[in-house]
Amino acid sequence: MRVLIKNGIVVNADGQARQDVLIESGHIRQVAPAINPELPCETLDAEGCYVMPGGIDVHTHFNIDVGIARSCDDFFTGTRAAACGGTTTIIDHMGFGPAGCKLRHQLEVYHGYAAHKAVIDYSFHGVIQHINHAILDEIPMMVEEGISSFKLYLTYQFKLNDDEVLQALRRLKDAGALTTVHPENDAAIARKRAEFIASGKTAPMYHALSRPLECEAEAIARMINLAHLSGDAPLYIVHLSNGLGLDYLRLARAQHQPVWVETCPQYLLLDERSYQAEDALKFILSPPLRNVREQDKLWCGIADGAVDVVATDHCTFSMEQRQRLSGGDFSRCPNGLPGVENRLLLLFSHGVMSGRISPERFVALTSANPAKLFGLWPHKGQIAPGADGDIVIIDPRRTTTIRHENLHDNADYSPWEGMVCQGEIRQTLSRGNTVFRDGKFTGSPGQGRYLRRKPFKHPVP
């Protein structure tokens, strides 16, 4: 199959130009100012539109079981929503397995979840929920199977202590893997939660008050220091929500420490006032939403290069689930927000169209940097000969009003309901196949491939 995209503005992280793009057999064959193919092909006119690499969302939670509930998006509905929002690759953070299970246990489970369901290409992050010699010995074998990043938690059921973190960091570095971490101070959170609950303060606002930004920032600083003690093991901070944590990351980078950070649209565009709304249960996630001052600090990091990636942490529990399980008590409400379909358009509208960032910086945050950090470059993250034919076409002249009734996930609400975005996702191609066009999903389950990712390599600036 051949596809020719004509007359668009092709944008990569290192520049943009008015060019045509020819895709053959799932790969980009040619990028040039004017392409006249010798053989018949489908022609797409992208006049007035940006033609960009398909988005890479490196932080999703599809089909995750959190003990009290299972998220309502599986690998079909989740990747369908991603495709309809211009994302062509996801890397899913696998949930915890049974206590004491082998490291590869969850990999086998998740292969079962995703096979024959995923609409777009996918991979997984390993999850380390306890440390012993057997677990550490499994890490190199997992890297050989294409799992080149692993997640540690400093809170929740299977949190690791500092000694366990040090052991993990060292072995992951030696094996060619990137350590990702959910950083929150578990002891401080547990103390504050217990005090609020004992006082009968269980409204959604107390979820945010029980997890103040200092709990997140302290854990970020601790992880940075532990990574340095581990021979400067490469470290990636997930879902940053505050400026103090970003300050610690800037300090580490000033010392040339290999540390990277992602944030999410909810921390850029939503704030703690959501917890005062009648439907406040919809906004419970961890870390919680912060105030507008923290938003401004994150936008500064987006603009000046301190933030490397914008992902989503898509983890969907319906409002029905939240109400039934919690009865309005934040401590019994499952955590997480939907958003995999809205990431690109939200950042395009509030970043590019507002003048905060360039189109090139947008591509870096949503596609190129994720590809480089997580072993997918150069086949993903760029529009260049030899790369996969993963493309999103965005029309900046149109506007989109986000309505859940028009979205493609399996939730029963959107945190972005009614938000007006400047721009429209016009078409998404995954390896040259159109999976979304003009508001309609056109893909099918099983089209997505499992991606064996390369060992971690420090990306070239």
Do the domain assignments include residue 113? yes
Contact 269, 346 (CB under 8 A): yes
By residue range, what is the domain housing residue 146?
55-374
Q: Is the pLDDT of residue 302 over 90?
A: yes
Helix axes 162-175, 213-229, angle to 10 degrees: 50
Residue 446: inside a domain, yes or no?
A: no
* Same domain, yes or no: 170 and 272: yes
- If pLDDT is split at 50, 70 and 90, which confidence band does 186 have? very high
Q: Do 136 and 31 share a structural domain?
A: no
d(CA 30, CA 41): 13
Residue type, 44: L
* Residue 410 domain flag: no
pLDDT in tens, 75-105: 999 999 999 999 999 999 999 999 999 999 9
pLDDT of residue 460 exceeding 70, the answer is no
The answer for residues whose C-beta is within 8 angstroms of residue 47's C-beta and 6 or more apart is 6, 7, 8
3-class DSSP assignment, residue 443: coil
> Is residue 358 located within the same domain as residue 393?
no
Residue 303 pLDDT > 90: yes
Distance, CA of 221 to CA of 214 (rounded, Å): 10
CATH number of 137's domain: 3.20.20.140
Residue whose C-alpha is closest to residue 426's, from 415, 418, 434, 417: 434
Residues annotated in a binding site for a divalent metal cation: 59, 61, 151, 182, 239, 313
Q: Is residue 90 part of a domain?
A: yes
How many CB atoms lie under 10 A from the CB of residue 286? Answer: 21
State the CATH number of the domain containing residue 9: 2.30.40.10
**Is the model's pTM score more than 0.85?**
yes
Residue 458 pLDDT > 90, yes or no?
A: no
398 and 424 Cβ atoms separated by less than 8 Å? yes
Mean pLDDT of 427-444: 98
Asked if the structure places residue 178 within a domain, the reply is: yes
**Domain assignment of residue 451, yes or no:** no
Identify whether residues 23 and 134 lie together within a single domain.
Answer: no
Q: What are phi and psi of 334, to 5 degrees?
A: -65, 145
- 346: Cβ–Cβ under 8 A, 6 or more apart, which residues? 265, 268, 269, 416, 419, 421
Q: Which two tokens stand for residue 130?
A: 């306890």
Q: How far apart are the first and last CA of the chain?
A: 35
Do both 12 and 90 map to the same domain?
no
Q: pLDDT digits over 121-168, tens only?
A: 999 999 999 999 999 999 999 999 999 999 999 999 999 999 999 999
Q: Is 291 within the bounds of a domain?
A: yes
One domain, residues 216 and 276: yes
Detail the residues annotated as belonging to a binding site: 59, 61, 151, 156, 182, 239, 286, 313, 335
Same domain assignment for residues 428 and 291: no
List CB contacts of 69: < 8 A, sequence separation 6 or more.
317, 321, 325, 334
pLDDT the model gives residue 461? 54
State the number of CA atoms in the 13 A half-sphere of 348 facing the CB.
Answer: 30
Model pLDDT for residues 352-382, shown as the tens digit of each residue? 999 999 999 999 999 999 999 999 999 999 9
92 vs 57: CA distance, rounded Å: 8
The stretch 431-457 carries a mean pLDDT of 97
Shared domain check, 39 and 95: no
> Would you list which residues are annotated within the binding site for substrate?
156, 286, 335
Longest alpha-carbon distance in the chain:
75
The answer to whether residue 415 is domain-embedded is no
Average pLDDT over residues 417-436: 98
Mean pLDDT of 250-276: 97
SS3 173: helix
Examine the pLDDT at 291 and tell me if it is beyond 90.
yes
- What is the tally of structural domains in the chain? 2
Residues 243 and 323 in one domain: yes
